[in-house]
A and B are shown apart, each in its own frame.
Chain A
């Protein structure tokens, strides 16, 4: 595995993970959305993590926004109503229902980024075909259950 970020993750819609340019949002709208993404998930020096406004992650967000355009537009409308500058608007916007679709999109894209997955001790790959290891557990714990005997009801 290379440590270099590898653009947008593979998906059937985006084979090869190339960065898509999205035209359904104007340049101004893209600027607002990027700033908003960075408010939701901020870069962290402590964890050495990018924010959701990172270029690769934001490009993924923008490419994926097509599928939830109405929800993203609802967030833009809500932002336009803000009483304060966007940079100061977290307390006004956080938890608002109109923000939920865009926030969900941000989280979906952020938590599939290679750097973010590695920071969580995950390998940056899909579940299939390698799968994961799960410990068997201690089946001797069942002795206590068996000791109580049958609990099903005779008819």
Chain B
């Protein structure tokens, strides 16, 4: 066992019943949900446990560390847990976190559900594909995940079928209220955001105290990262989480069944962990990378890849940022990133010139250093004389929104293995090739135009627009898609590989389409659903 954070005890290399690869958003859920079966569950995670007392918000240099050891870019962070990603051929660069909790350690905690229409894109709008599951099937699993996560929000959002919220909403604040006034003037939808942030003490977590540094780890423990939600419970229930273990490949036997994983342990020594079932949970870049690197006689093009779709259909959610500058003081550096959202432009309206739609998520403001960087690098704050006056015109006076545009699956958007670049263990690095589609570009442009109107209605006198957000590749989706047809999908309607009957995928790679919302609530809900299906089928799992 090696759940203790102080170092490894003797490692048990006897076969695991279930081997989970990756301890992020979905891996945690899968391990947690299977724990009650009393099977021997082992999880291999390439990074370690985070120490919240070392998160940037505990120090005066917190904004500087967002550019270095807590950068959202793995290439810039380049910590021992990270692997390089060649994203030169993509206008949107990857953002992730590698370690127990995965991306949830850094995520903002925006926590929307998909809508019923999001699972029926082909039938409704003639694009993408329909999912092999629907909203009603997933609803009980959404509700279960909401309870473990402790979702804050307000019931009654007219953009959704009825759903409960577990905790009260985050405060609107001065910024949210100002923006809401603009949306009300235009008669547009807005609502308190559903958020994976505790607004009251919940399950041993403390409530949010508005640090404003959610993207760099929540030192308060209010934000539901899985290292403090699912993992402690899963470990108490007997799951073994082996940190600092980087998987190189999944091995197979002559019958084409997965036999376990080859990995590098903390000392860099190659090890083999045998297993009866393997669950991939390495995200939409990490999972295809390992599958493509798992070549064998039976699977010369990579594991589970008879469709040729492993690594294809990458979806990243192009984002635009549209911020207003206001004359009077708003929230600035105070408060979580989440506040309110708008889904006025969510469902398809072909008169807009594109299909599908997007969500606006409102931003409260930014810290003192970020304000200076924005102002100086955009030419709004001069050097020398005039610096201080110009700075004060921006400080605590910037608020606005980002638009999250639905990205449709396109086979030419890919994750492949880089022919040259490798990680510290010599494993080929992933390479992204990605283009923003015409539909997405029109949606981005439309979202910028409408947001500008809303900000003007709210009283902004100047705008700062960034479209697409270059370093906003934080939603990694679609590269091992679900479906009933083995020639058009990688896993079936309950997450099992069509080709390898004891191999499952539960992370963001299985998404068929991306919807116009952040994905993690749906990723975790699907992980609950898939592992529930596994539990129900234990005696016939490999049939």
Q: Interface of A with B (CB < 8 Å)? A: 9-12, 39-42, 44, 46-47, 49, 64, 67, 90, 93-95, 100, 103-104, 107-108, 110-112, 116-117, 120, 122, 124-139, 141-142, 144-146, 148-155
Known pairs A122-B368, A127-B212; A152 contacts B191 (CB<8 A): no
Residues of A near B343 (CB, < 8 A) are 151
Min Cβ gap B221→A in Å is 10
Cβ-defined partner of A128 (8 Å) among B159, B219, B344, B389: B219
A1→B274 CA distance, assembly (Å): 59
Given A64-B64, A107-B372, A138-B172, answer yes or no on A153-B124 (Cβ-Cβ < 8 Å): yes
Chain B: number of interface residues, binned into ranges: 35 or more
The answer to the question of B377 belonging to the interface, with a C-beta cut-off of 8 Å to chain A, is: yes
Q: Does B425 contact A (CB under 8 A)?
A: no
Inside 8 A of A107's CB, which chain B residues have their CB?
369, 372-373, 376
A112 to B369, CA, bound (A): 8
CB-nearest residue of chain A relative to B64?
A: A108
Chain B: which residue is nearest A105 at the CB level?
B64
Interfacial chain A residues near B135, Cβ < 8 Å: 155
The proximity string for B residues 255-291 relative to A, scoring 1 for CB distances below 8 Å and 0 otherwise, is 0000000000000000000000000000000000000
Give Cα distance in the complex from A9 to B376, angstroms. 23
Q: For the complex, is B327 an interface residue (Cβ under 8 Å from A)?
A: no
Given A132-B212, A139-B172, A146 and B158 contact (CB-CB distance below 8 Å):
yes
**Most chain A beta carbons < 10 A, residue from B60, B160, B369:** B60
| Interface residue B58 (Cβ < 8 Å from any Cβ of A) | yes
Q: CB-nearest residue of chain B relative to A14?
A: B61
Nearest chain A residue, comparing its CB with the CB of B188: A145
A152 to B180, CA, bound (A): 20
If the complex has contacts A134-B171, A138-B172, A145-B190, are A153 and B115 also in contact, measured as CB distance less than 8 A? Answer: yes
B315 to A: closest C-beta gap in Å: 20
B238 within 8 A of A: no
B216 to chain A, nearest CB (A): 10
Q: How far is the CA of A104 from the CA of B189 in the complex (A)?
A: 38
Are B60's CB and A132's CB within 8 A?
A: no
Could you give 17 example pairs across A and B, Cβ below 8 Å? A9-B61, A39-B384, A42-B384, A46-B389, A111-B371, A120-B368, A126-B58, A126-B60, A127-B62, A128-B58, A131-B211, A135-B171, A137-B180, A139-B192, A148-B158, A152-B117, A154-B116
B333: chain A residues at CB < 8 Å are 122, 127, 132
Instruction: Give the complex CA separation of A107 and B385 in angstroms.
Output: 15
Q: Is the CB of A111 within 8 A of B209?
A: no
Chain A residues within 8 Å of B411, by CB: none
Taking CB atoms, residues of chain A closer than 8 Å to B419 are none
A41-B372 Cα distance, complex, nearest whole Å: 11
Residue in contact with A117 in the complex, picked from B67, B161, B219, B368, CB distance below 8 Å: B368
State the CA gap A135–B173 with chains docked (Å).
5
CA A141 – CA B334 in complex, angstroms? Answer: 22
Q: From residue A22, how far is it (CB to closest CB) to chain B in Å? A: 16
- Closest chain B CB from A142 CB (angstroms): 7
- Name the B residues within 8 Å of A130 (CB-CB): 209
Question: 10 other contacts beyond A112-B64, A127-B333, with CB at 8 A cut-off?
Answer: A46-B388, A107-B376, A108-B61, A128-B55, A128-B58, A134-B210, A134-B335, A141-B184, A145-B158, A153-B117
